Structure 1
Amino acid sequence: MKISSPSAGLVVAVIASLSFGTSGAFIKPLLEAGWSPSAAVTARVLLGGLVLLPLALISLRGSWPALWRARWRVLAMAVAGVASTQFFYFAAIQTIPVATAALIELLAPLLLVGVVWVMTRRIPHALVLVGSLFAVGGLVLVVGPGAIRAVDPLGLAFAACAMVGCAIYFVIAARPSDGLPPVGFAAAGLVLGGLVLGALGLTGVLPLAATFGPVPLAGTALPWWVPLVIVAVVSTALAYVSGITSAEALGSRLASFVSLLEVVFAALFAWLLLGEQLTPLQLLGGALILGGIAAVRAAGSETAVPAALDLLVPLPAMVDAGVVEPAPAHEYRG
């Protein structure tokens, strides 16, 4: 389903942020029970892709050529938008605090603003700059001021790579679908991304460890597969489909800023399900993020920058022929 209304796109983007924001509250009990982070995310991605697979097969009836035309976009989503982002994030948290890694990864919207600034040599709209300042301030308050500290340089480098992967995800998601349904795109990207993560685990690059006993959640003990299924269906399948749908409707810049609400929803779910404290500073941070999103939206459409997009997401012509051929103007969001 393609959305053309910006208002509807915003609603779907908020749904995506809410869906992504549930993951921490449901994955944390698995981690505390002995699951390694890489095992949890590999299971989440693979199961999410398998959940979407039947819907993807139905939606692709008569549209199989669209999947073939988007093969490089799907591969980029699987490798960069899913597997690499997750791999570098979990590599980062081996040596730096989780809050620090999350804060750096979620600076992806500022990276997108910077790429456009450099490629066009035009200063972004004042409202975009104001929105960026609000968003960063809100992130720091929600994630925790203690996230800003001197830490291991290699961990910081891994977190920066996760930020790049996150930015690439939004660029890929925002590119015109050319007839490929979002559910088909999401399913293909998740399945391939899960296979890449699984291969990294089987070869020992990522540690895979899991336990299969009851886990505590919302004051009761539940089978281990209950939170995993919830994460796969809500935090992965629904989240990626709605995220891709909204990014195509809103463009990569606005969609990436709306995605910052994920940290706000994550704090809310941790409060409701895990009993973690929700502080006034976090509420203020959420308000600042909302203000930043409003400012970026008020700035209007983002500038079309074909060169910037092609630096992050190679065109099929670049891969197949070794050169970049400019795409028609309508293929870039304006």
Structure 2
Amino acid sequence: MVLLLTAVAPCVWGTTYIITSELLPPDRPLLAAALRSLPAGVLLVVLVRKLPQGSWWWRSSVLGVLNIGVFFALLFIAAYRLPGGVAATIGAVQPLLVAVLAAGWLGEKLTRTKLTAGVTGLVGVALLVLQAQARLDLLGVVAALGGAVAMACGVVLTKKWGRPDTLLATTSWQLVAGGLFLTPIAFLIEGPPPADLTLPNLLGYLYLGIIGTALAYTLWFRGVHLLPASTTAILGLLSPLVATLAGWALINQDLTPGQLLGAAIILGTLALSALRTPRSVAPTSQHVASTTGNGR
């Protein structure tokens, strides 16, 4: 059940590309990133009515900048400047990055199986989404790669540090920290929000903020704490899979035999990873110490 609920998050994130291209105003990636994070974080803080204590002020800020601020900004820059397939393919290096970082920072064993799963998943994503006519934009490529690095570091640090309070509370702190990081940058670079936002624009921002951020990140961080970091990262392969299927179902993009083969490889990689995932994963000793008193 933990695995399935965690998988909901990358499935939802897979819709980001089509929402960005079809509903959001053009050329405002930082605005999209800020509106996706800060309102959702403030809403969750109001609901949980808890603030960080002690070292968790700076830890929440670090995690918020990595998982939310930097990642969201680079994600939307890549989404605006690259075809969704190219951005998703570059982002699919994240499982490999997480496996390497988790070995060094968490002591998780860097097995041949993990490396094979990461490489196989990357091949599947490439078959699924890369097209011969896909254009390459240097800034977009750098942004997509930088987003994968930021998210990989954030996932491993989230696992390493555990959480000192409820899931909603720690998620809200990160969203607010990331949003506060993004908002002044968005105003300085892109200026204030446009005055002529349409209803589809507003619906797109609402969907990304409530479903794509508040709900998805709550499920994602729960999985990060309860599953091995490398297993959580492999689930990220669902994002480009859903992105491609959404394009096929909603805007009539064709699926080629190569894409179908790529989808089969991704699903096979996920199935094998799920079979090798232990039913229950013991938290790190620090996480146990920090959560003993909150009912977990």
Look up the match of 2:216: 239
Q: Describe how 1:10-89 pairs up with structure 2 within 5 A.
A: 10-31=3-24, 33-34=25-26, 36-57=28-49, 60=50, 67-89=53-75
- Check conservation: 2:163, 2:287, Cα contact below 8 A: no
CA deviations 1:102-150 (Å, max 9, x no partner) are: 3222311111223356789998323223312220111112221449887
2:254 match: secondary structure: coil
Could you tell me which amino acid in structure 1 is paired with residue 45 of structure 2? L
Question: For residues 22 and 300 of structure 1, do their structure 2 counterparts lie closer, same or farther at Cα, with a shift above 3 Å needed?
Answer: closer
Larger Rg: 1
2:47 match: secondary structure: helix
Question: Could you tell me how far apart the structure 1 residues matched to 2:84 and 2:68 are?
Answer: 19
TM-score, scaled to structure 2: 0.80
Structure 1, unmatched stretches of 5+, are 1-7, 215-221, 302-327
1:186 aligns with 2:171: yes
- Check conservation: 2:162, 2:284, Cα contact below 8 A: no
Q: Quote the RMSD (CA, aligned, Å).
A: 3.4
CA deviations 1:283-322 (Å, max 9, x no partner) are: 3322212222233344557xxxxxxxxxxxxxxxxxxxxx
Question: Could you tell me how far apart the structure 1 residues matched to 2:226 and 2:252 are?
Answer: 36
Question: Could you tell me how far apart the structure 2 residues matched to 1:180 and 1:122 are?
Answer: 24
- Check conservation: 1:13, 1:242, Cα contact below 8 A: yes
- Check conservation: 1:16, 1:242, Cα contact below 8 A: yes
CA deviations 1:3-39 (Å, max 9, x no partner) are: xxxxx220111111222223233332233x4461221
Question: For residues 279 and 186 of structure 1, do their structure 2 counterparts lie closer, same or farther at Cα, with a shift above 3 Å needed?
Answer: farther
CA deviations 1:183-220 (Å, max 9, x no partner) are: 1111111122112111112222x566536354xxxxxx
* Greater mean alpha carbon deviation, residues 120-129 or residues 231-240: 120-129
1:288 aligns with 2:265: yes
CA deviations 1:208-258 (Å, max 9, x no partner) are: 6536354xxxxxxx5432222122111111111000001111121100111
Could you tell me which amino acid in structure 2 is paired with residue 190 of structure 1? L
2:246 match: secondary structure: helix
Identity %: 24
Look up the match of 2:231: 254
Look up the match of 2:292: none
1:114 aligns with 2:69: no
- Check conservation: 1:201, 1:207, Cα contact below 8 A: yes
Look up the match of 1:331: 286
Look up the match of 1:130: 116
Structure 2, unmatched stretches of 5+, are 289-296
Could you tell me which amino acid in structure 1 is paired with residue 17 of structure 2? G
* Greater mean alpha carbon deviation, residues 230-239 or residues 91-100: 91-100
Question: Could you tell me how far apart the structure 1 residues matched to 2:135 and 2:100 are?
Answer: 23
Look up the match of 1:304: none
Question: For residues 142 and 332 of structure 1, do their structure 2 counterparts lie closer, same or farther at Cα, with a shift above 3 Å needed?
Answer: farther
Could you tell me which amino acid in structure 2 is paired with residue 248 of structure 1? H
Q: Runs ≥4 in structure 1, deviation > 6 angstroms?
A: 118-123, 147-150
Q: Describe how 1:294-313 pairs up with structure 2 within 5 A.
A: 294-299=271-276
Could you tell me which amino acid in structure 1 is paired with residue 115 of structure 2? L
TM-score, scaled to structure 1: 0.72
Question: Could you tell me how far apart the structure 1 residues matched to 2:6 and 2:177 are?
Answer: 24
CA deviations 1:60-91 (Å, max 9, x no partner) are: 4xxx5x64442233111211111112333455
Equivalent of residue 144 in structure 2, options 145, 156, 159: 159
Question: Could you tell me how far apart the structure 2 residues matched to 1:54 and 1:280 are?
Answer: 49
Could you tell me which amino acid in structure 1 is paired with residue 33 of structure 2? V
Question: For residues 150 and 293 of structure 1, do their structure 2 counterparts lie closer, same or farther at Cα, with a shift above 3 Å needed?
Answer: same
Question: For residues 295 and 121 of structure 1, do their structure 2 counterparts lie closer, same or farther at Cα, with a shift above 3 Å needed?
Answer: same
Deviation at residue 56 of structure 1 after TM alignment: 2.6
1:224 match: secondary structure: helix
Equivalent of residue 143 in structure 1, options 129, 137, 141: 129
Structure ranking higher in helix proportion: 2
Look up the match of 1:3: none
Could you tell me which amino acid in structure 2 is paired with residue 109 of structure 1? P
Question: For residues 89 and 46 of structure 1, do their structure 2 counterparts lie closer, same or farther at Cα, with a shift above 3 Å needed?
Answer: same
Question: Could you tell me how far apart the structure 2 residues matched to 1:68 and 1:9 are?
Answer: 30
Question: For residues 111 and 146 of structure 1, do their structure 2 counterparts lie closer, same or farther at Cα, with a shift above 3 Å needed?
Answer: farther
Question: For residues 53 and 178 of structure 1, do their structure 2 counterparts lie closer, same or farther at Cα, with a shift above 3 Å needed?
Answer: closer
